Structure 1
Amino acid sequence: MRIALTVDPEIAVPPIHYGGIERIVDFLITEYQEKGHEITLFANDQSRKDCILKVWPGKTSFSKIDTLRNTIYLTREYLKNKYDIVHSFSRLAYLTLILPIGAKCIMSYQREPTISQIIKAKKLAFAKNLWFTGCSDYITDQIKPFASAFKVFNGVPLAAFHFNEAIHEDAPLVFLGRIEPIKGTHNAITIAQQTGKKLVIAGNIPQEYQWYYNEKVEPHLSDQIKYIGPVNDEQKNNLLRHALAFVMAIQWNEPFGIVMAEASACGTPIIGTCKGAVNEFITDGLNGFKSDEIEGLVRYVNEIHLLDRRQIRIDTEKRFSSNVIAEQYLQLYKNFISK
Structure 2
Amino acid sequence: MVAPPYFDIPPAGYGGIEAVLADLSNALVAQGHRVTLVAAGRNGTRADFRAVWPDAVPHRLGEPGPEIIFAAEARRVVERLIAEDGVDVVHDHTFAGPLNAPAYARLDVPTVATVHGPADSELRGYYRALGADLPLIAISGRQRTLAPELNWIDTVHNGLDPADWPFQRAKGDYALFLGRFSPDKGAHTAVTAAHEAGLPIVLAGKCNEPPERRYFTEQVEPLLGPDDRMVGPADARRKRELLTNARCLLFPVQWEEPFGMVMIESMVCGTPVVALRAGAVPEVVAHQVTGLICDDPGELPQALRDVTELDPGECRAHVVRNFSAARMGLGYVRAYRRALASFAMPSYLSV
**Residue matched to 2:279:** 276
What stretches of structure 2 of length at least 5 have no aligned partner? 343-351
Distance 2:334 2:165 in 1: 26
* Pick aligned residue for 1:262 from 233, 240, 265: 265
TM-score by length of 2: 0.86
Structure 2 SS opposite 1:303? helix
1:206 matched to 2:202? The reply is no
**Residue matched to 1:115:** 124
What stretches of structure 1 of length at least 5 have no aligned partner? none
Amino acid at match of 1:109: V
Which 10-residue stretch deviates more, 256-265 or 283-292?
Answer: 283-292
Distance 1:49 1:313 in 2: 24
**Residue matched to 1:36:** 32
Deviations for 1:166-192, whole angstroms, at most 9, x for unmatched residues? Answer: 324xx2100011122111111110011
CA change 1:120–1:213 in 2 (3 A) is closer
- C-alpha contact (below 8 Å) 2:138/2:156 kept by paired residues: yes
Amino acid at match of 2:81: E
Distance 2:129 2:293 in 1: 37
CA change 1:262–1:37 in 2 (3 A) is same
Distance 1:295 1:225 in 2: 20
**Residue matched to 1:45:** 41
Deviation at 1:49, TM superposition (A): 6.7
Which 10-residue stretch deviates more, 102-111 or 69-78?
Answer: 69-78
Distance 1:228 1:89 in 2: 30
Which 10-residue stretch deviates more, 175-184 or 61-70?
Answer: 61-70
CA change 1:143–1:72 in 2 (3 A) is farther
Distance 1:66 1:9 in 2: 7
Amino acid at match of 1:284: H
* Pick aligned residue for 1:184 from 172, 183, 186: 186
Deviation at 1:144, TM superposition (A): 3.8
After TM superposition, list the pairs within 5 Å mapping 1:156-305 onto structure 2. 156-168=160-172, 171-208=173-210, 209-305=212-308
Deviations for 1:127-176, whole angstroms, at most 9, x for unmatched residues? Answer: xxx421111112222454231331111112101211112324xx210001
Aligned-residue RMSD, C-alpha: 2.1
Which 10-residue stretch deviates more, 93-102 or 190-199?
Answer: 93-102
Distance 1:65 1:157 in 2: 32
Deviations for 1:205-224, whole angstroms, at most 9, x for unmatched residues? Answer: 13222122112222333432
- C-alpha contact (below 8 Å) 1:70/1:94 kept by paired residues: no
Identical positions, percent: 25
Deviations for 1:52-88, whole angstroms, at most 9, x for unmatched residues? Answer: 2122259777224444333344334333333112111
After TM superposition, list the pairs within 5 Å mapping 1:6-45 onto structure 2. 6-45=2-41
**Residue matched to 1:102:** 108
**Residue matched to 1:78:** 82
After TM superposition, list the pairs within 5 Å mapping 1:131-146 onto structure 2. 131-146=135-150
CA change 1:290–1:178 in 2 (3 A) is same
What number of residue pairs does the alignment pair up? 328
**Residue matched to 2:347:** none
